Structure 1
Amino acid sequence: MPPIGTFNTMRIVCISDTHSMHRQIQVPDGDLLIHAGDCLGVGTLDELEDLDRWFSELPHRNKILIAGNHDWCFQDEPAEARELIRHAHYLQDSPVELEGLKFWGSPWTPMFFNWAFNLERGDALAERWARIPEDTDVLITHGPPAGIRDKIDSPTGIIRPGCEALAERVASLTLKLHIFGHIHEDHGREQIGDCLYVNASTCNARFKPLNPPIVIDL
């Protein structure tokens, strides 16, 4: 037990959207590595096996992985994919508790060209977000909530494709941290109330793995 008046901190290293270019990333040391999806390029089991080998080489004592819309094997071959992940906690609408913090991970994003783990906006997504427990400390989703680190500058103007139902759900929770990716263009962090929102997309808009990992001391 730590002395009264002192606090334990967990150093969380956040990445996302590595698209099988994980070996090109300089990953800072920490207690926990979180990958918020789109870990694969075309979504094969061979790519996933290499990712798990890479996890095994990293010093972080815990890792968490969720799927994203490019990670087809988790949708199409779920049993085989889960069996390959030996060096991380894989979360799919499921929790894990680590060192007193409660994590929840979910891969779903609004429908876009019928990628993996896509659902229609509205009730279908709201049903998934309703599963997030009220006592969650750290939420990991592949996509952002609407209006938070979801900005794309397009030739026709600014687009914000984040999920409205997710924004409504996270506003009702008392999260400490919400980690996501998906929108490569809006990498960074934003504090809103008591929750820190982190877009950890490693690839930039040109699918180059140039955005640095984001490190959080929680």
Structure 2
Amino acid sequence: MTGLRSTTRKVRIVCISDTHNAAPGGPFKLPKGDVLIHAGDMTNQGSFAELERTVRWIEEADFQAKIVVAGNHDITLDTNFYARHGESFHNQRPQDPVECQGLLENSPSILWLKHEAATVSLAFPDGLGVRFKIFGSPFSPVDGMWAFGYESDEASKTWDQIPLDSDIVITHTPPMHHLDEKKDIPAAGCEALRTALWRVRPRLAVCGHVHSGRGAKRICWDLGDSNIKYKEASAECWTDPGFNNKKMSLVDLSAKGGSPVQNDGSKGDGNSCGKGSGLSNFGPMVPLPADTRGQGGVPPSALCDLEALSGRMGRQETCIVNAAITATLWANRSGGKKFNKPIVVDIDLPTWEE
């Protein structure tokens, strides 16, 4: 590699979640693209047979990169949960979590993210490739007896582990107030994740979990208000061009599409006091007051969230996508199950040249 270039190129990302044993060709079709993202709940109960079928069709899908996280229904992928509660689900046919996890762990073409970050590189015929940082997590707030749950007092610590230089974030749960509305609950998402997204401000955040929340929303973050923490300037809901027709459900965030996401992916030069922040030091290491966290302002003012803002003001906007494929409330309900189309995102990502 001759060095990173400060240019971008359009990448097509096909986003799905909550397939719950459904596979392409029947309930839904997979459009062509460069990257496939699955944001969890691949199965109903995480059995080996369920996972094997899902892994097989993902491996056969024609994408340069295929990135998955687990969801609360993929119970054998959560070793500790399955050791405690597996009998309640598979009392007649106990499953081997190691064997189940091996399907993903040993896949030659699937990147399985278990609350961790990775760098993804794509190659193109003209030699100008794409490289971006992605973070993926299976966790969601505890809601009944399901896998990968965290209590409310664990939420902030959980999402603080997202590196600040992430370009794309995949979580099974949606953030609170964004694509998380259930019939009986106006906001079923996680507030700690929403505040973490204010700090990280990735170009794209993909989730699922709440089937009725399927859609996309562009969030413009308010980074100037020094009085209200984690403030949003605006939220623009997406109108699905593929609703009730044969068109693709496309979210065009590219410059060629005329409405690029306002996010340059800047990595920052602030005080690197955050775990995994990916930032270099800015002056002497001075502990930031806790009450500046999530607060806007103009760096290097000590009154603002210096780590989240310094050198990173170009991260103005994030597009959040809830890509739930299953449209009905309950994944295992027989009869009237309905399905959504995958959501396709065209987005400009940083290039590198060989």
User: Normalized against structure 2, the TM-score is what?
Assistant: 0.57
Corresponding residue for residue 212 of structure 1: 341
CA distance in 1, matches of 2:196, 2:8: 29
Q: Is the 8 A contact 1:18 1:209 kept in 2?
A: no
Q: Between the two proteins, what is the percent identity of the paired residues?
A: 37
Instruction: Give the CA deviation at 1:18.
Output: 0.4
1:177 to 195, 201, 204: 204
Instruction: Give the CA deviation at 1:42.
Output: 1.6
CA distance in 2, matches of 1:175, 1:104: 10
Corresponding residue for residue 29 of structure 1: 32
Q: Is the 8 A contact 2:216 2:320 kept in 1?
A: yes
Structure 1 209/59 Cα, relative in aligned 2: closer, same or farther at 3 Å?
farther
Structure 1 138/5 Cα, relative in aligned 2: closer, same or farther at 3 Å?
closer
Question: 5+ residue gaps in structure 2?
Answer: 80-95, 122-130, 221-316, 332-336, 348-354
Corresponding residue for residue 101 of structure 1: 132
Q: What code does the residue aligned with 2:342 have? A: P
CA distance in 2, matches of 1:209, 1:128: 33
Q: Is the 8 A contact 2:41 2:70 kept in 1?
A: yes
Corresponding residue for residue 83 of structure 1: 102
Question: 5+ residue gaps in structure 1?
Answer: none
Superposed counterparts of 1:17-166, under 5 Å: 17-23=18-24, 24=26, 25-76=28-79, 79-85=98-104, 86=107, 87-99=109-121, 100-122=131-153, 124-154=154-184, 158-166=185-193
CA distance in 2, matches of 1:211, 1:22: 12
Q: What code does the residue aligned with 2:340 have? A: N
What RMSD, in angstroms, separates the aligned Cα atoms of the two structures?
A: 1.8
Q: Which moved more, 1:179-188 or 1:158-167?
A: 158-167
Structure 1 146/134 Cα, relative in aligned 2: closer, same or farther at 3 Å?
same
CA distance in 2, matches of 1:10, 1:83: 30
Q: What code does the residue aligned with 1:92 have? A: K
Q: What code does the residue aligned with 1:130 have? A: D
CA distance in 1, matches of 2:210, 2:78: 21
CA distance in 1, matches of 2:115, 2:7: 34
Q: What code does the residue aligned with 2:137 have? A: S
CA distance in 1, matches of 2:159, 2:322: 18
Instruction: Give the CA deviation at 1:56.
Output: 2.0
CA distance in 2, matches of 1:48, 1:95: 23
Q: Is the 8 A contact 2:328 2:338 kept in 1?
A: no
Q: Is the 8 A contact 2:217 2:321 kept in 1?
A: yes
CA distance in 2, matches of 1:5, 1:88: 28
User: Normalized against structure 1, the TM-score is what?
Assistant: 0.91
Q: Is the 8 A contact 2:182 2:213 kept in 1?
A: yes
CA distance in 1, matches of 2:326, 2:197: 25
Instruction: Give the CA deviation at 1:5.
Output: 10
Number of matched pairs:
212
Q: Any idea what the Cα deviations from partners look like across 1:17-58, whole Å, max 9, x if unmatched?
A: 000112432000100000000001221122111111101221
Q: Is the 8 A contact 1:21 1:209 kept in 2?
A: no
Q: Is the 8 A contact 2:72 2:146 kept in 1?
A: yes
CA distance in 1, matches of 2:188, 2:59: 34
CA distance in 1, matches of 2:201, 2:212: 27
Q: Is the 8 A contact 1:13 1:214 kept in 2?
A: yes
The structure whose Rg is larger is 2
